[in-house]
Amino acid sequence: MHQIVNIIGPTFFAVLVGYIFGRVSKANLAPLIDISMYIAVPALAFSSMFASEIVIGEAIKVWAACLIIMAGTLVAALLLFTGIRQKHSGLYLPIVFTNFINIPLPIIYLAFGDAGAAQALLMYIPQGLVMYSLGVYVASGEKDMKQGLRVMMRTPLIYAAILGLALNLLHVPLPTVVVGSVKLLGQAAVPLMLLILGTSIGRFRLTQIPLTAAASVLRVGGGFAFGVLAVWLLAITGVTRSVVLFEAAMPAAVFVSVLAAKYKNEEELVSSVVLATTLMAIVVIPALLYFLA
């Protein structure tokens, strides 16, 4: 338990600081978000992929597990909305798309090191491709696939992760000064992501409680259930198994609230699910670390 507190304590402290800052300040977060998403996080993605021992067969299993989790939660959401005879195209977003980066990556990095971070980033690659294409298509009311593809093409995190993975698998050496410089930039990613997350959720509100609760249970509980199914079907073991299960039970991706707001597609409800699942993580994360770490 002491080890778990040491891992999650700094994480939640940074989120809390960001939350308080977001409540008392009207500061524009756009520059920090740009620095995080275009410099720090891609640098962390590249250095983690490049430095870790990765086997292509295991990488394929991780990608398959991610797709199983997304497909499973999508089917569960379809069944829910069909059962209650309501159409919620925007609400599919926080159920299907998981926060693989802001919350879990810092914790996985502290708990499992570069090897764990590399597996977490591997999981993000297929979700990123789907979220920035089909996700935008759904958010826009099935009208804007081109916009999603443009967003995806401008996302350096995906390129950085793929480049680091390719250089790793091809055993291409890089000068120490290059590796060290990129790693230094990547170290800024963890505190930046957590501060931005805390500030963002400080501006969300809970609404439509029954529907928010149902969607949140699908995201966290359903995601974990399909994660268990995925690691069993694909015979995933070791650190990779722990990372897949941990990621599967994470909150909804904060980015989906941005998509919902941009296309005016149930933005309050989507943000409500993001907030609710993030609050659930306060209990879920220590429990997961206790059983998986």
Give Rg (Cα) of the chain.
18
CA distances 252 to 46, 141, 166, 218, 240, Å, are: 24, 20, 29, 10, 21
Residue 70's pLDDT is what? 96
Q: Could you tell me if 223 and 250 are in contact, meaning their C-beta atoms sit under 8 angstroms apart?
A: yes
Q: How many CB atoms lie within 10 A of CB 64?
A: 15
Q: Which domains does the chain have, with CATH numbers?
A: 2-292 (1.20.1530.20)
Give the C-alpha separation, 146 to 286, whole Å. 40
Condensed to tens digits (0 to 9), the pLDDT of residues 193-218 reads 778 777 777 777 778 888 899 999 99
Give the H or E element holding residue 191. helix 189-201
Q: Are 191 and 41 in contact (CB under 8 A)?
A: no
- pLDDT range class, residue 222, cuts 50, 70, 90: very high
- Asked whether the beta carbons of 117 and 49 are under 8 A apart, the reply is no
CB 65 within 8 A of CB 234: yes
End-to-end CA distance of the chain: 11
What secondary structure letter does DSSP report for 87? -
Q: Tell me: the pLDDT tens digits for 234-288?
A: 999 999 999 999 999 999 987 787 777 767 778 788 888 888 998 898 889 989 9
Cβ burial of 7 (10 Å; 0-12, 13-18, 19+) is buried
